[in-house]
Amino acid sequence: MSENEEVKKAKEEYDKVMADEHEKMLIRQRERYWLDYNSMKNASYKSGKKAGIAARNKRAE
């Protein structure tokens, strides 16, 4: 299959999915989930790092 045919097939699949409101809703929810997941992961990392630094400084005293 040539690259042009693959692109055309992908475009057709994308158009088909975007025409279905239920599929669009699922895509938005999936994207929102990953954005929230990454935000929580980042916040947890920063919180843990602060706690670790505080514990290290307390031990050093």
| 1-57 pLDDT per residue, tens | 578 999 999 999 989 888 989 989 999 999 999 999 999 999 999 999 999 999 998
At position 26, the amino acid (one-letter code) is: L
Interatomic CA distance for residues 48 and 42, integer angstroms: 10
Higher-confidence residue of 59 and 39: namely 39
Structure tokens at 61: 């005293």
pLDDT score at 1: 59
- The alpha carbons of the chain give a radius of gyration, in whole angstroms, of 22
Q: Is the pLDDT of residue 61 over 80?
A: no
pLDDT score at 39: 96
pLDDT score at 60: 81
